[in-house]
């Protein structure tokens, strides 16, 4: 009996969706946070137009929402970090957005090395 059950257990374990399955989403959120930080720095330095800034901020926010909604483990540490990023105002200081990007990078690195 055990010999018949073991292959199914192995197959089931291989199909589990742990945090590693969310690595692409974490990477995407980290990249979006960094882009948003750079955009806000450019806007603060008056290097981009207001219309461009508004359009890009909206696009980044929409992509982050899509990323967050697709997480396999939304209540994880990285899910919380992405929600915290989404809660930031559009004109958040670039340093704060960069801090979110760094936190996501640390999580990403720890999952990749696990």
pLDDT digits (tens, 9 = 90+) for 44-95: 999 999 999 999 999 999 999 999 999 999 999 999 999 999 999 999 999 9
Comparing 7 with 69, the larger pLDDT belongs to: 69
Q: Is the dihedral of CA 40, 41, 43, 48 positive or negative?
A: negative
Say what the pTM is: 0.84
Q: For residues 114 and 85, what is the distance between their CA atoms, to the nearest angstrom? A: 25
Q: What is the pLDDT of residue 8?
A: 47
- CA dist 36 and 42 (Å) reads 10
Residue 11 pLDDT level (bands cut at 50, 70, 90): very low
Residues 6+ apart with CB under 8 A from 101: 30, 31, 33, 34, 37
Q: Looking at per-residue confidence, does 94 or 14 come out higher? A: 94
**pLDDT at position 16:** 53
How is residue 97 written in tokens?
Answer: 């957005």
Sorting pLDDT into bands at 50, 70 and 90, what band is 1? low
């Amino acid at each position: 009996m055990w010999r018949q059950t073991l292959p199914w257990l192995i197959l089931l374990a291989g199909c589990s969706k742990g945090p590693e399955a969310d690595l692409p989403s974490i990477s995407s959120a980290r990249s979006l946070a960094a882009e948003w930080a750079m955009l806000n720095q450019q806007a603060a330095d008056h290097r981009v137009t207001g219309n461009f800034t508004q359009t890009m901020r909206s696009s980044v926010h929409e992509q982050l929402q899509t990323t967050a909604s697709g997480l396999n483990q939304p209540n994880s540490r990285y899910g919380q970090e992405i929600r915290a990023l989404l809660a930031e105002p559009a004109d958040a200081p670039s340093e704060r957005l960069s801090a979110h990007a760094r936190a996501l990078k640390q999580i990403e690195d720890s999952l990749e090395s696990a």
